[in-house]
Structure 1
Amino acid sequence: MKHTISAMALALSASTAMAQDNVTIEFAYSYSHLFDVTYEAMMPAFKEKHPNIDVKFRATYESYEDGTNTVLREAVSGTLPDVTMQGLNRQQILVEKGIAQSLEPFIAKETDFAKDGYHDAMLSLSTIDDAVYGLPFSVSLPVGYYNMDMMKAAGVESLPTTWDEVITVCEKMKANGVDNPIFWGWSVTGNWFLQALMWSQDKPIVDNGRMALDSPEALAALEQMQEIFTKCDMQNIEWKAALSSFAAGEIGMMFWSTSALGAVERSQGDFELVTGAFPGMGETPKGLPAGGNAAVLTSTSEDPKVQEAAWAWIKFITSGEGAAEVAKTTGYMPPNKAANEVILADFYEANPNKKTAVDQLPLLRDWLAYPGDNGLAITQVIYDGIERIVTGDATDMKELQQELVEEVSDLLPNG
């Protein structure tokens, strides 16, 4: 009996010690409809490697703007998560506010960091003032989604390469009885498609520290949007509804982030889906903005175990093994060399629709944040202006450009 009691005491002592060694970290991310399946797919391998770390998932952010706004509020209330996923263009404000923590001390302890697939070209997306503040988790580029059944029924056999060709396809579809031939992603987070049209002309929206909304390239972008919206009779529908309508076979062409490809494929109707490179303004785009997000350490815990657990989670989800699930479950590209070149060596050849964005990687440019504390407000001003084009409320693009320049100037640090 004495031996039995001793054994029980030892077992209880061991289980108590294990419980004490367990660490819980809190994690928040955007776009549940895109990433829920990704994190679910990652968790078994993570728990196998780190059985003592529990990841508590917070309610997801609606968008990258919502994610940044939420974290800014949580910093004031003292309720920050340990790790947050933030849009690549929203990291700088968190660094400037002292919310994002440098990952340099953790990286310095890693002897095999470069071997895990992290290199300067990838880390530069989250490097601010020569220090790494986030590890890029997923990178996207804008692409075209095509319902080839609808295209062929309208007499179109090849994918359009310019917006003029897109408009021609719209007209053929309309002549064939298609009510809604196109959805063009003007509403995507961070004015991403406006930046895509400007980068297509090799012009950044923030040039040498100043907004370039008054540039000829910005006017050309607004005019290009107007042509697409009006000549294609594009309906002003909410983007989630548009994704559902395209997947259901009701929209002929959709221009959106490659990130949605996994979601579209999971709900796709009975039609041939093909993705194609983002069309250009009369020629191949000279550049395109990198979309996506990065894992940022925002923990306020002073417990070294929590900090190390948060780093273990960040490192795993962005490593070759973790990042591979990004490509498999979404349309994002893992910004990790090991994932793309080793683990996914055969994946893209077997999944050509997901390879489209990878083929555009030479065009990758920065997704730019707007200067000062009013970056989110500037994003909304531009969003509202573009919506006026969609609804037909704005018809004179030079006049709209001037209005946007004036409104945005009032929100900039130096006018």
Structure 2
Amino acid sequence: MKFLHRIAAAAALASVATLAAAAPTEIVIQYPYGEFFDETHKQIAAEFAKLHPNIKVTFRAAYDSYEEGTQKVLREAITKQLPDVTFQGLNRIRILVDRKVAVPLDGYIKAEKNFATQGFHQAMFDIGTAGGKVYALPFAISLPVVYYNLDLVKRAGGDPDKLPSTWDGVFALAKNVRGLGGELNGVTMAWDITGNWLWQAPVLSQGGSMLSADEKKVAFDGPAGEFAIDLYSRLVQEGRMPNLSQPDSRAAFAAGKTGVHITSTSDLAKVTSMVGGKFALKTGVFPGVKEGSGRLPAGGNLGVVVSTDPKKREAAWEVLKFWTGPIGASIVARTTGYMPPNKVANEIYLKDFYAQNPNNYTAVKQLPLLTRWYAFPGENGLKITDVIKDHLQTIVSGKRAAEPRAVLKDMAHDVQQLLPR
């Protein structure tokens, strides 16, 4: 009898061991902006599960913003509660590398065979590179574009086939839209987008930069910064732009109350849904980019492996590779306004999609202008973005709209004080 018990016990243990061996590896993912990405990640996870039954993907509640996501990861690194893969703003990889939270991916990339045939290329790696190593792969890329209410454009005497390519053209059209009456907004800009993105855009569009090459001195106080700060002043004084938050300016445009709205391609799917056919919507390129030297900052987010368990990192890599590969990337394009950086997705999977959805293709046309979304160095990197936003607010609110150059001087001084010394 004891012998039989021992046999049964041994069999039970063997069964448990077999089940344990067969149990899928769980990979926990956390990402920002659920309103934009919940459906995207859900669809990608469903496709991933078909090919990888040995890996179970679970999600934590979405981060409210890029800033909140970065701060949360930094806290979780201390409390040892990190997810396995986190999606962070393109300008936030630097701080995760500096704090030694991000896992380098070079070894995984090197081990891949025929990686280029899956759409991965050097420009993708460059976006997530820091200190000569690859720490992240871009997932969803956005660029600033202009949204036009073509019904208002036509009523204001504009030509839908010849939308403005200059800021003077934008302000002239905005003035005519306001002239239609009915408390219409001529132009709005989502100036408060995370990470000073639409402050960097006009500066970089004129060939400017945020800091000097050695990152020790503010550089946005030169001619390019003067252009950008004057643009903010013009938006308020000439364009009569109301003091609205990003969600409110988006809602006003979608309700048909605004002629011209400047924001990210990431808003396209949501805005199109909100418009719901109330008027004809068309996107146009970001105006006034200086030929030759002008660039536009790539917005969006990238995937970072932060798992502290070496055994789970292989599975986390498979997840990240799929999410940024051709299938995941094509789902990004179809469910959001973002562009996938994956070549195979854009050139093969999405060829017909762009032909049928020209509003999505506007940003793709601007890809040659793409540059990095700048991240300020040092412990005060996040604080600097708040300081810049506070100064821009003084113009948007109208308080200092008439003195943009003085605002620029104060902004440069305050940022300089926060740079590493």
TM-score by length of 1: 0.93
Q: Secondary structure at the match of 1:207?
A: coil
CA apart distance, 1:25: 1.5
Please point out which of 101, 104, 113 is paired with 1:102: 104
The answer to whether structure 1 residue 291 and structure 2 residue 296 are counterparts is no
The partner residue of 1:83 within 73, 82, 85 is: 85
- Alignment partner, residue 144 of structure 1: 146
**2:185 alignment partner, SS class:** coil
Query: What CA distance in whole angstroms lies between the structure 1 residues aligned with 2:227 and 2:245?
Result: 25
Partner amino acid for 2:288? G
Map 1:179-218 → 2, pairs under 5 A: 179-208=184-213, 209=215, 210-218=217-225
**Post-superposition offset of 1:281:** 6.4
1:276 and 2:284 matched: yes
What is the rounded CA distance, in whole Å, between the counterparts of 1:231 and 1:342 in structure 2?
44
In the alignment, is residue 321 of structure 1 matched against residue 327 of structure 2?
Answer: yes
Per the TM alignment, residue 227 of structure 1 is displaced from its structure 2 partner at its CA by 0.5
C-alpha distance in 2, partners of 1:96/1:409?
21
CA distance in structure 2 between the aligned counterparts of 1:93 and 1:186, rounded to whole angstroms: 24
CA distance in 2, matches of 1:285, 1:242: 30
Whether contact under 8 Å (1:348, 1:355) holds in the other structure is: yes
Distance 2:357 2:16 in 1: 48
The C-alpha deviation readout for 1:219-258, integer Å capped at 9, x for no partner, is 2210111101221211111211222222222222111010
Q: Give me the TM-score of the superposition, normalised by structure 2.
A: 0.91
Q: Please give the alpha-carbon distance, in whole angstroms, between the structure 2 residues aligned to 1:387 and 1:36.
A: 31
- 1:110-162 per-residue CA deviation (whole Å, 9 max, x = no partner) reads 11222211111221011112211001111111000111011111221231111
Q: Deviations over 1:3-37 (max 9, x none)?
A: xxx9xx99x94996278521212111111111112
> 2:405 maps to what in 1?
398
- CA 267–55 in structure 1, closer or farther in 2 if over 3 Å, else same: same
Structure 2 residues without counterparts, runs of 5 or longer: 1-7
State yes or no: 1:253 paired with 2:260: yes
Match of 2:70 among 40, 46, 68: 68
- Checking the alignment, whether the CA contact within 8 Å between 1:279 and 1:285 is kept in structure 2 is no
Report the aligned-residue RMSD: 2.1
> For 1:139 and 1:383, how far apart are their aligned partners in 2?
22
Q: Per-residue deviation at 1:267? A: 2.1
The corresponding residue for 2:242 is 235
* Aligned CA distance change for structure 1 residues 252 and 14 (closer, same or farther; 3 Å): farther
Does 1:111 find its partner at 2:77?
no
**Residue 197 of structure 1: how far off its partner (Å):** 0.6
Call closer, same or farther: CA 1:150–1:283 in 2, change over 3 Å: farther
Amino acid at match of 1:169: L
Counterpart of 1:255, as a letter, is: I
Aligned to 1:173: 177
**What is the distance in 2 between the residues matched to 1:18 and 1:119?**
38
Q: Is the 8 A contact 1:161 1:284 kept in 2?
A: no
Runs of 4+ in 1 over 6 A off after TM superposition: 281-285
Structure 1: 5+ residue stretches without partners: 1-5
Question: 1:169, CA displacement in angstroms?
Answer: 1.1
**Contact 1:163-1:282 within 8 A present in 2 as well:** no
Residue 300 of structure 2 aligns to a residue in which SS? strand
